[in-house]
RNA sequence: GGGCCGAUAGCUCAGUCGGUAGAGCAACGGACUUUUAAUCCGUGGGUCGACGGUUCGACUCCGUCUCGGCUCACCA
């Protein structure tokens, strides 16, 4: 019988008492005229003291969640929070006086309202003796009874598991959390505007794909009953976006979710948000220029300046960003002799000298990139473009005109993380088919992340794709960077976690409701 | 997957070298008509993550498990 806490039972009883008195504890007949911040902005300079309120003063109709109540018997301050609340102004207080509100209404307020409830209040503004802007309440209404009590008003929610599982409670209490997601929303809308201003069209391509291509990752697999076939959640939209470029759309972008069935960490969530954009008649060099402008303007849009603080470092988005080839990075950043970076034996020797274990079966291309990731990546704090990747590990990239062993590709690193990957697109269908076949061979040899062949994509290229450059940017990582968060879970509303085990019959009785938990023999 | 750490009231935490637990906030009753984490007096609230073992006795010790955090590995 302890399924419902004492605190909740008391609140349920208060709602029942309201119903018995003909009142609705979940009313929806209150209209708001101003957010709490609107009130502050429109009245702050002019608010009179309580005894000087003009008869005809503006009446504000506000609503919000009750964060705290200071009850002084025949008067009370109620502190409200709404969508306009910020860390600078976390609550706005309204003042209830028994003589003004009326005895019945005031007694109802005291009998009905708890912290956490959502209420509406109407009245003129005034300034208290201590100088705080407040509303003198002439009408007060409980709009939504909260059955569950709020977390500690001083400490808020701190347990990360609870914060992520009950993001709603986290957002009620944590104005800094709201701010993170406001910045994230701003990032997304800025990028959309930025690309649309340059003639890009936003498109949506399949998330359920018969061939999960466009990247090297393990996909989630599902089953389509009607067609009787397996389908995969996309690991990237790349191949579909390029089909649209073949179709003549020339500048397209998609900003949406990808899914990868791989490990979770502070930097990886099974579903994550990726921007991909493609521009015909452009090269990866054009995208380098575009990316510098996009990111520095984005940073200014978010912070008002082109720098951001991350993990104790000031990251500057002032163009031009640093730029190295993979080999140059190994020389300049890891201190490997240039002569060693040109051969597999040289790379192996350099790795051995530094105590880095490399796969003895790995090719020159794989070893080169592996060593870059091991020795250089984490050191790239300021935005840095790394170019000239090996063709072998870039099956969708255009080979360099000067040297077909390399491709016209860059990755962008900031604060030690890869945030973008871009290249001039391979648009020769014969070459693309050959590269796919190499990948098929690699898969047969045990590389389960080798790219699967996509025959329809080859057919699309056979119609002719204009010379094109394309880029992917990890939006979650950009959001981490611009909000100073060290975990991807802090910038995703509902990060994936193992499902909670609920006891059957949670809130109110319903004894034989749940029990649907599989009673399996531990896996 | 490995290592380390954690799980005690609604929330934030303390605690018991083994004798079934405390504080603050929240709640409940009372006082208080300008408070600012309001204040003052009083009260209730816990299967101490789960299961097993040792023991006269386990919240505490041991084992297993669950969930989470950090970290390493993996992962463009």
- Chain A window 327-356: residues with CB closer than 7 Å to nucleic chain B are none
Distance, in Å, from the CA atom of A402 to the CA atom of A399, rounded to the nearest integer, reads 8
- pLDDT of residue A505 exceeding 50: no
pLDDT of A33 reads 97
A6 CA vs B44 C1’ separation (Å): 10
State the virtual CA torsion across A321, A326, A327, A331 in degrees, nearest 10. 60
State yes or no: pLDDT of A504 exceeds 60: no
CB A205 within 8 A of CB A244: yes
Nearest nt to the CA of A266 via C1' is B70
Query: Cβ of residue A204 near strand B, that is under 7 Å?
Result: no
| Strand B within 7 A of A157 CB | yes
Q: Is-contact A370 A248, C-beta < 8 A?
A: no
Confirm whether any atom of chain B, the nucleic acid strand, is less than 7 Å from CB of A311.
no
* Pairing mode, strands A201-202 and A251-259: parallel
**Alpha carbon separation from A512 to A506, A508, A515 (Å, rounded):** 11, 11, 7
What distances in angstroms separate CA A197 from CA A202, A277, A367, one per listed residue?
A: 12, 14, 41
Q: CB of residue A251 closer than 7 A to nucleic acid strand B? A: no
Q: Note the CA–C1' distance, A152 to B8, in angstroms.
A: 17
Calculate the angstrom distance between C1' of B67 and CA of A497: 10
Q: Does the C-beta of A152 come within 7 A of strand B?
A: yes
Q: For residues A98 and A102, what is the distance between their CA atoms, to the nearest angstrom?
A: 6
pLDDT in tens, A16-70: 999 999 999 999 999 999 999 999 999 988 899 999 999 899 999 999 999 999 9
The residue with tokens 């890891």 is A334
Å: A499 CA to B67 C1': 9
B44 closest protein residue (CA to C1'): A6
Q: Which of residues 5-44 of A touch strand B (CB under 7 A)?
A: 5-7, 10, 14
pLDDT band at A262 (very low <50, low <70, confident <90, very high): confident
Sign of CA dihedral A96, A97, A102, A106: positive
Task: Give the tens place of pLDDT for each residue, A83-141.
Answer: 999 999 999 999 999 999 999 999 999 999 999 999 999 999 999 999 999 999 999 99
A189 C-beta neighbours (distance < 10 Å), count: 11
- pLDDT of A502 reads 64
pTM exceeding the 0.90 threshold for the entire prediction: yes
**Which strand (E) or helix (H) includes residue A188?**
helix A175-197
Nucleotide minimizing C1' to CA distance for residue A153: B25
Q: How far is the CA of A171 from the C1' of B51 (A)?
A: 36
Burial label for A479, CB within 10 Å (0-12, 13-18, 19+), is buried
What structural domains does chain A harbor?
2-150 (2.40.50.140), 172-321+382-494 (3.30.930.10)
List the A332 CA – B68 C1' distance (angstroms).
Answer: 41
Whose tokens are 């394309």? That residue is A470
- Residue A71 CB closer than 7 angstroms to strand B? yes
* ipTM associated with this complex: 0.90
Protein A179 CA to nucleic acid B6 C1', in Å? 28
Residue A467 sits at φ, ψ, to 5 deg, of -55, 130
A498 pLDDT band (50/70/90 cuts)? confident
Helix (H) or strand (E) holding A386: strand A384-390
Is the C-beta of residue A99 closer than 7 Å to nucleic acid chain B? yes
The answer to whether the beta carbon of residue A131 comes closer than 7 angstroms to any atom of strand B is yes
With beta carbons less than 8 A apart as the criterion, state whether A450 and A235 touch.
Answer: no
Q: Which long-range contacts (CB under 8 A, 24 or more apart) does A172-176 make?
A: A172/A65, A172/A81, A172/A116, A175/A85, A175/A86, A175/A87, A175/A90, A176/A87
Nucleotides of B under 7 A from a protein CB: 1, 6, 9-13, 24-28, 31-39, 44-47, 65-76
User: Of A161, A139, A171, nearest to A67 (Cα)?
Assistant: A171
Evaluate if the CB of A359 falls below 7 Å from strand B: no
Whether residue A503 has pLDDT greater than 80: no
Q: Are A66 and A82 in contact (CB under 8 A)?
A: no
Q: Is the CB of A378 under 7 A from strand B?
A: no
Other residues' Cβ atoms within 10 Å of the Cβ of residue A302: 20
- The whole-number Å distance from A166's CA to B62's C1' is 35
pLDDT of residue A319 exceeding 80: yes
Predicted local confidence at residue A432, as pLDDT: 95
Query: Which nucleotide is the nearest neighbour of A151, by CA and C1'?
Result: B11
- Strands A406-414 and A92-97, sheet pairing: unpaired
CB < 7 A to strand B: residues 413-432, chain A: 418, 421
Segment A355-365 mean pLDDT:
87
pLDDT in tens, A178-221: 999 999 999 999 999 999 999 999 999 999 999 998 988 889 99
Distance (Å, rounded) from C-alpha A267 to C-alpha A281? 34
Average pLDDT, chain A: 91
CA dist A470 and A250 (Å) reads 11
Q: Give me the residue label for tokens 């207080």.
A: A93
Confidence of residue A331 (pLDDT cuts 50, 70, 90): very high
Helix (H) or strand (E) holding A13: helix A6-20
Give the pLDDT of residue A406. Answer: 95
Write phi, then psi, for A13 (nearest 5 degrees).
Answer: -65, -35
Enumerate the β-bridge partners of residue A420.
A412, A473
Q: Using omega within 30 degrees of 0 as the cis cutoff, is the peptide bond preceding A320 cis?
A: yes
User: Over 80: is that where the pLDDT of A517 sits?
Assistant: no
- Going by their DSSP bridges, the two strands A133-136 and A92-97 should be labelled as parallel
How far in angstroms lies nucleotide B57's C1' from the CA of residue A2?
Answer: 27
Beta bridge partners of A306: none
Q: Which nucleotide is nearest to A100 (CA to C1')?
A: B33
Can you read off the two tokens belonging to residue A7? 């605190």
pLDDT at residue A477, as a whole number: 94
Proximity of residue A103 CB to strand B below 7 A: no
| Cβ of A435 near strand B (distance < 7 A) | no
The whole-number pLDDT of residue A368 equals 94
What Å value separates CA A159 and C1' B59?
A: 21
Q: What is the percent of chain A where pLDDT is above 90?
A: 79
What is d(CA A461, CA A435) in angstroms, rounded to the nearest whole number?
14
- Comparing A317-326, A357-366, A468-477, which segment has the lowest mean pLDDT? A357-366
């Amino acid at each position: 019988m302890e399924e419902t806490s004492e605190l909740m039972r008391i609140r349920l009883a208060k709602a029942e008492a309201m119903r018995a008195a003909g009142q609705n504890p979940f009313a929806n007949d209150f209209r708001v005229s101003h957010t709490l911040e609107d009130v502050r902005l429109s009245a702050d300079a002019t608010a009179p003291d309580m005894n000087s309120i003009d008869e005809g003063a503006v009446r504000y109709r506000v609503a919000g969640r009750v964060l705290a109540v200071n009850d002084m018997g025949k008067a009370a301050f109620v502190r409200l929070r709404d969508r306009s609340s910020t860390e600078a102004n976390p609550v706005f207080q309204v003042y209830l006086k028994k003589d003004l509100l009326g005895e019945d209404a005031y007694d109802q307020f005291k009998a009905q309202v708890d912290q956490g409830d959502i209420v509406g209040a109407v009245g003129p503004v005034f300034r208290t003796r201590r100088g705080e802007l407040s509303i003198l309440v002439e009408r007060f209404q409980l709009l939504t009874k909260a059955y569950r009590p709020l977390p500690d008003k001083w400490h808020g929610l701190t347990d990360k598991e609870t914060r992520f599982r009950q993001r709603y409670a986290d957002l009620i209490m944590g104005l800094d959390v709201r701010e993170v997601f406001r910045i994230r929303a701003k990032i997304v809308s800025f990028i959309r505007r930025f690309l649309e201003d340059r003639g890009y069209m936003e498109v949506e391509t399949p998330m359920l794909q018969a061939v999960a291509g466009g990247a090297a990752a393990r996909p989630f697999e599902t089953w389509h009953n009607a067609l009787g076939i397996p389908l995969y959640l996309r690991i990237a939209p790349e191949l579909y976006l390029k089909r649209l470029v073949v179709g003549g759309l020339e500048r397209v972008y998609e900003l949406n979710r990808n899914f990868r069935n791989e490990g979770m960490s502070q930097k990886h969530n099974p579903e994550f948000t990726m921007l991909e954009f493609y521009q015909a008649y452009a090269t990866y060099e054009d995208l380098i220029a575009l990316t510098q402008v996009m990111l520095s303007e984005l940073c200014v849009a978010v912070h008002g300046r082109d720098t951001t603080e991350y993990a104790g470092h000031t990251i500057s988005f002032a163009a031009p960003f640093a730029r190295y080839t993979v080999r140059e990075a190994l020389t300049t950043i890891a201190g490997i002799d240039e002569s060693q970076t040109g051969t597999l034996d040289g790379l192996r020797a350099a790795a051995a000298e530094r105590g880095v274990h490399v796969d003895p079966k790995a090719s020159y291309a794989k070893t080169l990139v592996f060593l870059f990731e091991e020795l250089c990546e984490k050191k790239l704090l300021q935005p840095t473009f790394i170019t000239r990747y090996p063709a072998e590990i870039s099956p969708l990239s255009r080979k360099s005109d000067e040297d077909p062993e390399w491709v016209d590709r860059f990755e962008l690193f900031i604060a030690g993380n890869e945030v973008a990957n871009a290249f001039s697109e391979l648009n020769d269908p014969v070459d693309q088919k050959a590269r796919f076949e190499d990948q098929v061979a690699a898969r047969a040899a045990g590389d389960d992340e080798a790219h699967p062949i996509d025959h329809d994509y080859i057919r699309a290229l056979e119609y002719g794709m204009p010379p094109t450059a394309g880029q992917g940017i990890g939006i979650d990582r950009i959001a981490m960077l611009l909000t100073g968060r060290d975990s991807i879970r802090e910038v995703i509303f509902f990060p994936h976690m193992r499902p909670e085990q609920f006891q059957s019959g949670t809130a109110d009785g319903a004894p034989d409701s749940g029990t649907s938990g599989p009673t399996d023999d531990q896996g």
